[in-house]
C-alpha cells in the first residue's frame, strides 16, 4: 500500500470521481428520452444499479471522512463494489458492445494503484470473470452475438494489462516517495547539523535578506552585538552601525568594512560581508569577529615566532657567554689584579649571570614541558607557599593570609607548574607591592563555582599604572633596570598549558593589585 497520507489522498480523489460518475450515469440514464445505449437492454436494472452505485459512493465518502475502517479494507470493498456495479450497468445497457467496458478499465486502473500486487491481479481476474459471466448470461438469454466473446476476451486482457501497468506505476511511486522521504530526512538532519555548527561557531553569523530582515542569528553574534536572545526583526534594530555598513557595502561591494563597537561595554567587532547569490537584492551573510581576539591571536603568533628566533639566538649566545664568565672568574683569581680591575671583573660576572638567566628563561619558554594535569587540593598548596614566603630574608613587615572556600576545593592542574606561577607572582608582590613604609599585606585566596575555580594573589601596594598594566604580560617588558621582563610572560604560558588563564585587575583607583589564575571545569 502506498504511504498512508498519500493513500488517503488518492482514495479521496478516486471516490470523488466515482461519485461524479455515478451521478452522471444516473442523470443521463433516467432522462427522457434516456441517452443511448444507457439502459437499452433493461432500463429498470440500470436505474436500480445507478442509484445503488451513487449511494455506494456516498457511503465511501463518509467512511473516508471518518477514516474507518482501515484504508486497506475500504479500497478492497470499493474495488469489488466498482466491478459489481459497473458490470450490472454494462449488462443493463446491452453488454460489451455498449462501450461501457471502458469504465471498468478505469476502475481497475484506479483501484490497482491502491492495492497490493496480488490483490491488483485478483481484481483484474474478477473483472474479467465478471465480464465473461455477463456475456454468458446475455448469450443464455439469446441476446448476444458471437463477436461479443472476442470483445469480452480483449477487454479481460486489457484488465490484466491495466493492472500490471498500474502496479508498476504504483511501485515506482512508492520508490519515489521513499526516496523523497529519505532525502527529506537527510535534508532535515543536514539542516539541524548546520544549525548546530553555526550556533557553536566562535565567529558571529548573521544572515539577512534583501530587505535587511534578520533570518539567522547565532549565539556568538548575539553576544558580540549585545542583542537579546530572541533577536530583532530588522538589522536596523539589531545594530544600526552594522546596518549602515551593509548599506554602504551593497552600494559599493569593494569597500572595506570598518571595526566598530556595538555597545560601550562590548568589545570592538570586525564585520565581513558575503552575498548569498548573484541576483540583485540577494541575501547577505555577515560574519562578525572579536577584534580583541584577533589582535590577541596575531600577538600570539608573533610571540611564537619571536620565541623560536630567541631560542635559536640563545643557543648561539650560551657557549661564548660561558667562556666569558669562566675567563672573568679566572681573571678575578689572579694575584696581580688591582682593586679597580677586580671591580670590573665582578661587573662582568654579574652581568653574564644576569644574561644567562635571560637565556634560561627564553629556553624555558621555547621548550616548555606538557602539563600533567590531575585533581590537586588548593588549600595545602597555598599554606605550604605561605610558610616558605614567611621564611624569606626579606619577609620582615610582611603579613600573608590564606583563605580557601570551600576548604576541600580542588582544581585540575600541574602542581609544579602552577607552583612556579604562584612563586613568580609572590616575588613580584615582594618587589613591587610594598607601601612606602615597607609594609606588605599579601592575600592568597581561592574559590570556585560550577564552571570554574580561581586563585587570587592580591596585595595592597601602590598598584600598576594603567598604561603599564596593558603590557605587563609581553615578553621582555619590565620597569626594573635589573629585570628580564620574562616572568609574567612565562607565567601566562604555564597557565595556558594548564588550561587556565592569568589576568590582572586593579583593586581600586587608590592602589592594590590582583592577579587571578582561573581554571575552567
User: pLDDT value at position 313?
Assistant: 72
200-293 sits in which CATH class? alpha beta
Q: Which three cell numbers stand for residue 412?
A: 585540575
User: pLDDT value at position 1?
Assistant: 45
User: pLDDT value at position 422?
Assistant: 92
Computed over every residue of the chain, the mean pLDDT equals 81
Beta carbons of 417 and 519 less than 8 angstroms apart: no
CA distance readout (Å), 450 to 453, 520, 521: 8, 9, 7
Share of the chain above pLDDT 70, in %: 89
Q: What is the arithmetic mean of pLDDT over 166-174?
A: 80
User: pLDDT value at position 444?
Assistant: 92
H/E element, 111: helix 101-114
Q: From CA 123, how far away is CA 196, in angstroms rounded?
A: 52
Share of the chain above pLDDT 90, in %: 9
Which position has the higher pLDDT, 143 or 328?
A: 328
User: pLDDT value at position 254?
Assistant: 77
User: What would be the CATH architecture of the domain defined by 374-520?
Assistant: 2-Layer Sandwich (3.30)
Locus of grid cell 500500500: 1
3-state helix/strand/coil string of 357-402: HHHHHHHHHHCCCCCCCEEEEHHHHHHHHHHHHHCCCCCCCEEEEE
Q: What is the arithmetic mean of pLDDT over 199-225?
A: 86
Using the predicted structure, report yes or no on whether residue 321 has a pLDDT greater than 80. Answer: no
pLDDT digits (tens, 9 = 90+) for 103-119: 888 888 888 877 776 78
User: pLDDT value at position 161?
Assistant: 84
Using the predicted structure, report yes or no on whether residue 305 has a pLDDT greater than 80. Answer: no
pTM: 0.45
User: pLDDT value at position 483?
Assistant: 66
Using the predicted structure, report yes or no on whether residue 507 has a pLDDT greater than 80. Answer: yes
Long-range contact pairs involving 8-11 (C-beta distance under 8 Å, separation at least 24)? 8/64, 8/67, 8/71, 10/113, 10/114, 11/64, 11/71, 11/74, 11/75, 11/78, 11/114
- What residue ranges do the domains of the chain occupy? 4-180, 200-293, 295-366, 374-520
pLDDT digits (tens, 9 = 90+) for 45-91: 888 888 898 898 888 888 888 888 887 788 888 888 888 888 888 88
pLDDT band with cut points at 50, 70 and 90 for residue 2: very low
Using the predicted structure, report yes or no on whether residue 459 has a pLDDT greater than 70. Answer: yes
User: pLDDT value at position 134?
Assistant: 79
Q: What is the arithmetic mean of pLDDT over 407-418?
A: 89
118, 164, 128, 162: which is closest to 1 by C-alpha? 118
Amino acid at each position: 500500500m502506498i504511504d498512508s497520507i498519500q493513500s488517503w489522498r488518492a482514495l479521496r480523489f478516486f471516490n470523488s470521481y466515482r461519485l461524479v460518475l455515478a451521478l452522471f450515469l444516473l442523470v443521463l440514464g433516467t432522462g427522457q428520452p434516456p441517452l443511448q445505449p444507457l439502459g437499452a437492454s433493461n432500463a429498470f436494472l440500470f436505474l436500480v444499479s445507478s442509484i445503488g452505485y451513487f449511494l455506494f459512493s456516498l457511503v465511501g465518502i463518509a467512511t473516508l471522512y471518518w477514516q474507518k475502517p482501515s484504508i486497506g479494507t475500504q479500497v478492497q470493498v470499493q474495488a469489488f463494489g466498482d466491478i459489481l456495479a459497473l458490470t450490472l450497468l454494462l449488462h443493463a445497457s446491452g453488454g460489451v458492445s455498449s462501450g461501457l467496458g471502458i469504465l471498468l478499465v478505469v476502475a481497475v486502473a484506479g483501484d490497482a494503484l491502491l492495492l497490493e500486487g496480488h490483490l491488483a491481479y485478483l481484481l483484474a481476474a474478477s473483472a474479467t470473470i465478471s465480464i465473461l459471466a455477463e456475456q454468458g448470461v446475455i448469450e443464455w438469454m439469446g441476446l448476444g452475438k458471437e463477436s461479443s466473446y472476442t470483445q469480452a476476451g480483449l477487454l479481460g486482457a486489457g484488465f490484466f494489462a491495466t493492472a500490471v501497468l498500474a502496479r508498476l506505476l504504483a511501485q515506482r511511486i512508492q520508490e519515489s516517495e521513499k526516496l523523497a522521504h529519505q532525502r527529506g530526512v537527510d535534508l532535515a538532519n543536514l539542516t539541524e547539523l548546520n544549525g548546530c555548527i553555526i550556533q557553536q561557531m566562535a565567529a558571529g553569523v548573521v544572515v539577512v535578506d534583501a530587505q535587511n530582515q534578520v533570518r539567522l542569528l547565532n549565539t556568538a553574534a548575539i553576544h558580540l552585538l549585545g542583542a537579546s536572545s530572541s533577536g530583532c526583526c530588522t538589522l536596523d534594530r539589531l545594530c544600526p552601525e552594522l546596518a549602515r555598513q551593509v548599506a554602504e557595502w551593497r552600494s559599493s561591494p569593494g569597500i572595506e568594512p570598518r571595526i566598530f563597537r556595538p555597545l560601550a561595554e562590548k568589545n570592538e567587532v570586525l564585520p565581513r560581508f558575503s552575498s548569498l547569490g548573484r541576483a540583485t537584492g540577494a541575501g547577505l551573510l555577515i560574519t562578525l569577529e572579536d577584534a580583541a581576539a584577533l589582535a590577541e591571536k596575531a600577538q600570539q603568533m608573533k610571540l611564537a615566532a619571536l620565541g623560536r628566533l630567541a631560542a635559536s639566538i640563545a643557543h648561539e649566545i650560551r657557549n661564548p657567554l660561558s667562556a666569558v664568565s669562566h675567563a672573568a672568574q679566572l681573571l678575578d683569581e689572579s694575584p696581580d689584579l688591582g682593586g679597580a680591575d677586580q671591580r670590573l671583573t665582578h661587573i662582568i660576572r654579574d652581568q653574564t649571570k644576569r644574561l644567562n638567566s635571560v637565556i634560561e628563561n627564553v629556553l624555558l619558554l621555547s621548550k616548555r614541558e606538557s602539563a600533567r594535569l590531575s585533581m590537586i587540593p588548593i588549600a595545602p598548596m597555598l599554606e605550604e607557599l605561605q610558610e616558605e614566603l614567611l621564611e624569606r630574608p626579606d619577609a620582615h613587615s610582611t603579613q600573608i593570609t590564606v583563605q580557601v572556600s570551600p576548604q576541600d576545593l580542588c582544581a585540575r592542574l600541574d602542581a609544579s607548574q602552577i607552583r612556579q606561577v604562584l612563586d613568580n607572582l609572590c616575588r613580584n608582590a615582594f618587589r613591587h607591592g610594598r607601601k612606602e613604609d615597607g609594609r606588605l599585606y599579601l592575600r592568597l585566596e581561592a574559590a570556585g563555582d560550577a564552571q570554574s575555580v580561581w586563585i587570587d594573589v592580591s596585595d595592597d601596594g601602590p598598584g600598576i599604572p594603567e598604561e603599564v598594566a596593558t603590557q605587563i604580560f609581553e615578553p621582555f617588558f619590565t620597569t626594573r633596570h635589573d629585570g628580564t621582563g620574562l616572568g609574567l610572560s612565562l607565567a601566562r604560558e604555564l597557565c595556558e598549558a594548564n588550561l587556565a588563564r592569568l589576568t590582572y585587575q586593579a583593586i581600586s583607583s587608590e592602589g592594590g593589585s590582583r592577579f587571578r589564575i582561573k581554571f575552567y571545569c
